[in-house]
Amino acid sequence: MQIRELKIPDSYEITPKQFGDDRGVFLEWYRFDKLAEVVGHPIDLRQANTSVSKRGVVRGIHFADVPLGQAKYVTATHGAVLDYVIDIRVGSPTYGQWDTVLLDDTDRRAIYIAEGLGHAFVALTDDATVSYLVTDTFNAEREHGIDPLDSEIGLVFPAEAGEPLLSPKDTEAPSLSQAASAGLLPTWDDMRAYYASLDGKTV
């Protein structure tokens, strides 16, 4: 597999090698050792999630308190989504910026998103099925959201997605500035120290 760091530090695009024949296709969609080589430590997976969305559904922007936070390894097993990683770490050189990876059942890419980063996606097809491997179990009290339509962040949704469909929870989420003012966001320095602790390093 090929692993490429995205514009947002601590996020990666993973492109697997596919082996096809007249029976179908085989691929390794997750390899802990290959990912650990670039991330700096093995990923301690604690929960697996699957969502199915119709075209236009937007899920996110979501993030969890650190520690432990929720690093995510995400792929689409059916259909297609455009997946977004958003830097919400106050003080980061890319704070408020974002990058994307197309996840679909053709190239079968995945995206890795470290703890402390925001995550969202928009479904480009009906029955878009997304599976996530995450590093902590769900804890509603430690989960937060940011409005995916926040103009300060400026996520751009492809025309093929149609009209964005959001849950009430995501629609009512604060803007990036409001979340920062409320003290909900992680800081760049704290997250660098946290990643170093996972790597077994000191800062």
> Is 132 a catalytic site residue?
yes
* Residue linked to tokens 């947002």: 8
From the list 12, 73, 132, 195, the catalytic residue is 132
Please pick, among 62, 73, 112, 195, the residue that the annotation labels catalytic: 62
Helix (H) or strand (E) holding 170: helix 168-171
CB atoms near residue 25 (< 10 Å): 10
Identify the residue whose tokens are 């792929």. Answer: 75
> Which among 8, 161, 180, 142 has a CA at the least distance from the CA of 65?
142
For the question of residue 62 being annotated catalytic, the response is yes
Per the DSSP assignment, residues forming a β-bridge with 165 are 57
Q: Which of 138, 136, 98 is nearest to 118 (CA)?
A: 98
Active site residues per annotation: 62, 132
